[in-house]
Structure 1
Amino acid sequence: MSIASQASEITLPAVTNYTTVYDFLCAKFPFITPQVWQQRIADGKVHWHDGEPITEQTGYMPSKRLCYYREVEAEPVVPFAHRILYQDKHFLVADKPHFLPVTPGGQYVNECLLARLKKQTGITDLVPLHRLDRDTAGLVLFSINPASRADYCQLFSLQKITKQYQAVAKLTASIEQQLLRQSLPLQWQIKNRIEKATPKFINHIVKGEANSESDIQLAAKCDNKGLFCLTPVTGKTHQLRLHMLSLGMPILNDIYYPELQPKGPPQFDAPLQLLAKKLAFIDPITGQKQSFSSSFQLSEW
C-alpha cells in the first residue's frame, strides 16, 4: 500500500443535497468503496483544512476545504530522474522525464514531479502553474511564493508565455514528395475544435468554431521520420497530439492516438516522442526576459 505523504484538498461544492461529508466522498469517488472511506475516516486520514478530523456523522459544510490522503495498492516507480534547471524566491523550473506525472492521480500518489520536488527542496507550498501529460517530457514552471503566484499565473491566462515543443513522427508519402520540390522548413497553422470523447480521458476533433490553435514546423528529416517544432497558441488537453494526427502524422509511440491502446504497464523503452523543449517569458516581477531549454532529447531522433 502506498499512501500520499501530502494531503489532497477539495473544496466542498456550495450547493448539494448531501447530509454528511461521508455521503459526499462516497458519491464523489465512486471507485472507492464506502468501506474504504469508513476505514480512512476511522484512521484520521480525512480532516478539515485546519486539521480537525471528521467522523462518519460529520455534517456536510458547503464551501469548506477538506483534506484526505490518497492510497493505492501498488504504485508504479518511474526509473528516470527529474532535474531542477532554475530556482529563485518566486518560481522554479523543473525538467520532467517521460512517464512521470506532474501531480498525483490514478495509480500515482508519491511518484509524481510535485511530490519529488517538495521532498527535494523542502518547499511545501509549491504549485505547478501548468501541466504536462504524464507521457510528455520537458519543462514545467512552479510557483514558490504565494505573494507573487497570481502574477505568474497570468502569464498563462493572458498568453504571455511562449512554449515550444519537439516531436518525432513518420512522414506521409505526400510530405516526402513535397520535400523533393521544396526545402525545409515546412509549416502549418492548425485551427480546429477539440472536445471530450469516449472514454473521457481522450479528446477528438469535431466540427464547429475553432477553440484550439497550433503552429507546426517540420524542421528536419531523417529517412522516413521528421523532427517537428510545435508552438501551441491555446492549451487544450492533447492538443498537439491531435493536431499532428490531423496532418496524418501521429507522434511516435502515442498510446492514445490514432488508436487507444489497451491499458498495461508503462513501456519505458518506447516513450512518447513529445518534449516540452522551451519556455520563454518576461518576468512579471523583475521585468527581465527568462528563457529555459530542456536538457532531455527525444530518443527516436
Structure 2
Amino acid sequence: MFLASRFTYQSRSNWRKILEEGKILVQGKPAKPSYSIKEGDEILYLPGDSFEPPIQTDFKILYEDTRYIAVEKPGDIPIHSAGRYRKNNLTDLLEEDPRFEKIYTIHRLDRETSGVVVFAKDPEAASKLADLFSKRKVNKTYVSYVWGNFPARLQAKGFLTSDPSSLIRKKRRFLSETSFQKLEIPEQDSETCETAFRKIGEGIFQGLSFSKVYCFPKTGRLHQIRATLYSLGFPLIGDKIYGKDERTFLEFIEGKDPDLIQKLGMERQALHSISLTFIHPFTGLITKIRSGLPQDFPE
C-alpha cells in the first residue's frame, strides 16, 4: 500500500482503517484501500481528532546560561514535531515552561537516542553554535551497546547510501571508500561519513556477548552511528531498524506488537549522547556538557 510505505508513522492496518473511515480523499472523493494511485492524483488526509503516543517527559536540565540550555533527553521522545508527535516532543514541552519562552533547535537526536541536546534561547545564539556543528568544531561522544565482540579500536571512513537489500525505505548502509568505488553508486545517493570507535567494555546479555563502545562521529549524518555499526556487523542492542532482524520493525509498524525485549534485547536502541564539548561562541570558554548512562542500559 502506497500510504504505508510512504508514511511509516502509521501501520498498514491503521492506514486501511483510516481509508475505510473515509478520511483519505483522492481527487476530492473518499478512496478505497484497493485504489491504485495514478500520476497526478491529489491525495488529501483528513485525520480529525487524534491521540498522540505517550512519551517520557522526565528530561533533566544539564546546563543553562543566558544564551543556551542543554537537556538530558530520555530515550522515548522526539526533538521536534514529526509524524504522530505534534505536541508530544521535547521542543514543545520546553516552550511550555515559562522560564524559556522560545527556544531554537540546533542539532537533533533520533527519537530513541537519549542524552545531551543543546538548544539556543535566541536566533543569534542558534546560528553561532549551529555554525560550529557544521564546521565540525563540536566534539561529540556517544556510548553504545552492540551485539558481538567489537575490536579494541576501529576507524570507519566512507559513505552512507540507501540500502537496496532492505524492505525499509529509510534504512541506510555504510560502505568503505573501496567498496563504494567498486559499486559505482550515484553521487546523489550518498554522503561521506566518518566515525571513530573505541571498545570500553564487554559482557553477556541474554546469553549473548555484547560490547560497550564509545562512538566519536566526525560528521553528522542521518542514522550515521546506527547504520555504520550495523554494516560493520555489530548491530545496536534494541535497534528496530538496524538491529538483529529488521522484520521486527515491520511487525512493529504493522501494529503486531512484537516482544521487543525478547527479539532485540531492549525496547529502544542502546545509543546515548554522553557528552558535547565546544568553545562557547560568546564567552570563549571550553564548555563540556555530560550526561550519565540511562538506567535501561545493560549493566
Same fold (TM over 0.5): yes
Alignment map for 1:13-24 (pairs within 5 Å)? none
Secondary structure, aligned partner of 2:131: helix
2: CA distance, partners of 1:200 / 1:100: 22
Where in structure 1 are there 5+ consecutive unaligned residues?
1-22, 24-29, 38-70, 179-185
Match of residue 225 from structure 2: 240
Alignment counterpart, residue 195 of structure 2, candidates 176, 196, 214 = 214
Match of residue 127 from structure 2: 150
Judged with a 3 Å threshold, the aligned counterparts in structure 2 of structure 1 residues 149 and 192 are, in CA distance, closer, same or farther, namely same
Shift of the alpha carbon at 1:99? 1.4
Judged with a 3 Å threshold, the aligned counterparts in structure 2 of structure 1 residues 89 and 217 are, in CA distance, closer, same or farther, namely same
TM-score computed with the length of structure 2 as normaliser: 0.69
Match of residue 103 from structure 2: 126
Give the AA of the match of 1:272: Q
Judged with a 3 Å threshold, the aligned counterparts in structure 2 of structure 1 residues 122 and 32 are, in CA distance, closer, same or farther, namely farther
Match of residue 171 from structure 2: 202
Where in structure 2 are there 5+ consecutive unaligned residues?
1-26, 28-41, 182-190
2: CA distance, partners of 1:226 / 1:168: 6
Shift of the alpha carbon at 1:255? 0.2
Match of residue 254 from structure 1: 239
For the 8 Å contact 1:72–1:107, the answer to whether it is kept is no
Shift of the alpha carbon at 1:117? 0.6
Alignment counterpart, residue 297 of structure 2, candidates 284, 296, 299 = 299
Shift of the alpha carbon at 1:155? 1.1
For the 8 Å contact 1:128–1:140, the answer to whether it is kept is no
Judged with a 3 Å threshold, the aligned counterparts in structure 2 of structure 1 residues 292 and 72 are, in CA distance, closer, same or farther, namely farther
1: CA distance, partners of 2:140 / 2:228: 16
Secondary structure, aligned partner of 1:147: helix
Is residue 286 of structure 1 aligned with residue 283 of structure 2? Answer: yes
Give the AA of the match of 2:172: N
CA-to-aligned-CA distance 1:80-126 (integer Å, 9 cap, x gap): 41111111111110111011000010110111000111112453431
Alignment map for 1:28-47 (pairs within 5 Å)? 32-33=44-45, 36=46
Shift of the alpha carbon at 1:31? 6.4
Match of residue 118 from structure 2: 141
Which structure has the greater CA radius of gyration? 1
Alignment counterpart, residue 214 of structure 2, candidates 229, 243, 251 = 229
For the 8 Å contact 1:89–1:145, the answer to whether it is kept is no
2: CA distance, partners of 1:121 / 1:299: 33
Shift of the alpha carbon at 1:32? 4.2
2: CA distance, partners of 1:131 / 1:148: 16
For the 8 Å contact 1:128–1:143, the answer to whether it is kept is yes
For the 8 Å contact 1:168–1:225, the answer to whether it is kept is yes
1: CA distance, partners of 2:93 / 2:279: 27
For the 8 Å contact 2:57–2:74, the answer to whether it is kept is yes
Percent identity (aligned): 24
For the 8 Å contact 2:240–2:268, the answer to whether it is kept is no
Give the AA of the match of 1:255: K
Judged with a 3 Å threshold, the aligned counterparts in structure 2 of structure 1 residues 282 and 31 are, in CA distance, closer, same or farther, namely farther
CA-to-aligned-CA distance 1:117-139 (integer Å, 9 cap, x gap): 11124534311100100010111
Higher-RCO chain (CA-CA 8 Å, sequence separation at least 6): 2
Identify the range of structure 1 (140-149 vs 256-265) with the bigger mean alpha-carbon deviation: 256-265
Alignment map for 1:67-106 (pairs within 5 Å)? 73-106=50-83
2: CA distance, partners of 1:124 / 1:202: 36
Is residue 275 of structure 1 aligned with residue 282 of structure 2? Answer: no
CA-to-aligned-CA distance 1:3-62 (integer Å, 9 cap, x gap): xxxxxxxxxxxxxxxxxxxx9xxxxxx7642xx49xxxxxxxxxxxxxxxxxxxxxxxxx
